[in-house]
Structure 1
């Protein structure tokens, strides 16, 4: 065993609860690459987990009423509600996925196992025990939401009043946002920001949550996760210069109001470019997040390779967030319907990136 593995083992300890005859040996072998693994039968799940436990992985037959009830009873304890819980799906069937989330899953993986993909999900789902007390989960979430909200205030209230938005404001917030979602879950983030009374704030916070979860799901490097988080926070900065009566209108916009709304990418770009200090790729996202690959988007009618990867990613989470949010004039779409609508957009969106977003869309919301 290498020193690197020894270090990982002391930093992350996982509980693997299995009802399989082989005790999930293949999965246990993969998990040992990132930490210490204690494999037990589901009937032996302790009533109260030990303090150094980073999280629990559950590998059961989700079609077995007996197994499901047993795990439900075990994980009902308050101590488990605050702990990351990853469930293994035997297939991609809707029933298994819904059963896992009903049991309190914070993430899922599916057979057949992709070792590299699993390790990426584990690192994102289960924090190292060193330097992070599990009791701080709620505090980390609150700090992240507060930091994101502070950026929204600077964008929508202070920027129109002439107070410059600094790139350092975004950097400061992103650290807390990434920690909040990494140490809690996207579901908890969406719940925390979903009741926000200001629609424009809520949308940006939804987009940020989905963007960070998407980046973590893809196993992006930390630097790239931060880039996508920044893009999500900033993408709608131009709405700060759109009349509130249009932004908060409790009904569909008229053609004139829609044309006014379509000015927000250009206005946001012009404001940030004029004050300086923002990287070109952030300005690219602000200006082009409503462009489509087939050239039918706005404001520049870009197409194909003219649209950067970070813009393509932001566009996907922006559209999805808008569809699953409750609006004053309509109820939110279900995650399945929202994702299906985006598939129907065809070559307007990068379908490869959309397919990669599917586990986030179906698993987290």
Structure 2
């Protein structure tokens, strides 16, 4: 292998409490990565800078193993590092434990080598931060474009620097192409590995919205309108205090009331700036409205709520349910849909039924 090839290969830590049982996984990983296999007690507090991520293969029913891994992964050097956990079976307990330990993706025994390699390429960037394939490059370009919009929303807009409509238009084609030519799973996995809560939620909603639009066979123009709306739906959160946005727990009533101001704040900021299409402003202002009139800020109901808002609301709620929160583990796909199906009268059930297939295989 040439020096150049070696320099760009992924470097992974494989943490195992039963190394002999991890040999098969180690061999699979070695086909696309340099792998250092360690016992959980040998995991360094500060991994080398060139490590792309950590794969954890432990008995998730062992309190001792779980605690050792938890103690290691809570160090700052692991905080933003992708973590792939191995599940021994499909039991819910193991999945819950993995997500509670900060998993960004999971794989299960028996191993499907081809499937694992796809997940590795999506979950762990190589040492240059990019997948070498055209597919990976397209995905990275789309996420980079979306991230740039997030930076402008949350960092520059509150400081008085305008968010131009052209900034959003410039990003939309790269985002649509990224999801079309890779997959929703790869988009979600990569976003989940590398982005903070407010960014991650907006990018999750964008990914789901684009995949939904493509599943429905929307025209290109309609797909672009939807991706713009999804990117900007939470723009008002840029004006909410970070102590509330980043609170590591449930909000109290006063904080909830402050948070509920974000649709109006976002709408006012973009409307004052000018240049934004009415349907985008409609989504920014009304994505928390519900069909029975119990939503906010305007208490709209039934036909007062446009189709693009109905669609964005469903995607927004689903994304929030399946994302990790400091105060709870993510809900499973089945649990999220169970919750949303019980919101009959509040959500457009026809759109909800149409959305369900989009999420199959995304996790």
User: 1:158 and 2:156 equivalent?
Assistant: yes
Distance (whole Å) between structure 2 residues aligned to residue 323 and residue 104 of structure 1: 26
Deviation at 1:287, TM superposition (A): 0.1
Deviation at 1:340, TM superposition (A): 1.1
Partner residue, 1:171? 169
User: 1:260 and 2:258 equivalent?
Assistant: yes
Match of 1:237 among 235, 256, 259: 235
Deviation at 1:360, TM superposition (A): 1.0
User: 1:358 and 2:356 equivalent?
Assistant: yes
TM-score (norm 1): 0.64
Deviation at 1:104, TM superposition (A): 4.1
Distance (whole Å) between structure 1 residues aligned to residue 181 and residue 325 of structure 2: 29
Partner residue, 2:314? 316
Deviation at 1:199, TM superposition (A): 0.6
Partner residue, 1:303? 301
User: 1:271 and 2:279 equivalent?
Assistant: no
Please state whether the residue corresponding to 1:345 is helix, strand or coil.
Answer: coil
Distance (whole Å) between structure 2 residues aligned to residue 219 and residue 104 of structure 1: 27
Distance (whole Å) between structure 2 residues aligned to residue 192 and residue 314 of structure 1: 22
Partner residue, 2:338? 340
Match of 2:136 among 129, 135, 138: 138
Give per-residue Cα distances to partners, 1:147-190, cap 9 Å, x unaligned: 00000000000000000000100000001101110110000000
In structure 1, stretches of 5+ residues that fail to align are 1-76, 79-97, 106-133
Distance (whole Å) between structure 2 residues aligned to residue 256 and residue 187 of structure 1: 36
Match of 1:292 among 287, 290, 293: 290
Match of 2:186 among 179, 185, 188: 188
Distance (whole Å) between structure 1 residues aligned to residue 361 and residue 345 of structure 2: 24
Deviation at 1:197, TM superposition (A): 4.3
Distance (whole Å) between structure 2 residues aligned to residue 193 and residue 170 of structure 1: 18
Distance (whole Å) between structure 2 residues aligned to residue 278 and residue 245 of structure 1: 29
Deviation at 1:364, TM superposition (A): 2.5
Match of 1:207 among 205, 208, 218: 205
Contact 1:339–1:361 (CA<8 Å) still a contact in 2?
A: no
Deviation at 1:310, TM superposition (A): 0.2
What pairs with 1:37-48 in structure 2 (closer than 5 Å)?
A: none
Distance (whole Å) between structure 2 residues aligned to residue 194 and residue 180 of structure 1: 16
1:104/1:215 CA distance change after superposition, 3 Å: farther
Deviation at 1:359, TM superposition (A): 0.2
In structure 2, stretches of 5+ residues that fail to align are 1-30, 33-107, 117-131
* RMSD, aligned CA: 2.0
Please state whether the residue corresponding to 2:360 is helix, strand or coil.
Answer: helix
Distance (whole Å) between structure 2 residues aligned to residue 305 and residue 295 of structure 1: 11
Contact 2:239–2:262 (CA<8 Å) still a contact in 1?
A: yes
Distance (whole Å) between structure 1 residues aligned to residue 318 and residue 289 of structure 2: 15
Match of 1:219 among 206, 217, 220: 217
Contact 1:336–1:362 (CA<8 Å) still a contact in 2?
A: no
Partner residue, 2:81? none
Please state whether the residue corresponding to 2:326 is helix, strand or coil.
Answer: coil
Contact 1:293–1:304 (CA<8 Å) still a contact in 2?
A: yes
Distance (whole Å) between structure 2 residues aligned to residue 191 and residue 274 of structure 1: 36
Question: Structure 1 runs of 4+ off > 6 angstroms?
Answer: none
Distance (whole Å) between structure 2 residues aligned to residue 315 and residue 104 of structure 1: 32
Give per-residue Cα distances to partners, 1:249-270, cap 9 Å, x unaligned: 0000010000000000000000
Distance (whole Å) between structure 2 residues aligned to residue 297 and residue 341 of structure 1: 17
Contact 2:185–2:361 (CA<8 Å) still a contact in 1?
A: no
Distance (whole Å) between structure 1 residues aligned to residue 280 and residue 347 of structure 2: 20
Deviation at 1:316, TM superposition (A): 0.4
Distance (whole Å) between structure 2 residues aligned to residue 285 and residue 196 of structure 1: 26
Give per-residue Cα distances to partners, 1:50-80, cap 9 Å, x unaligned: xxxxxxxxxxxxxxxxxxxxxxxxxxx98xx
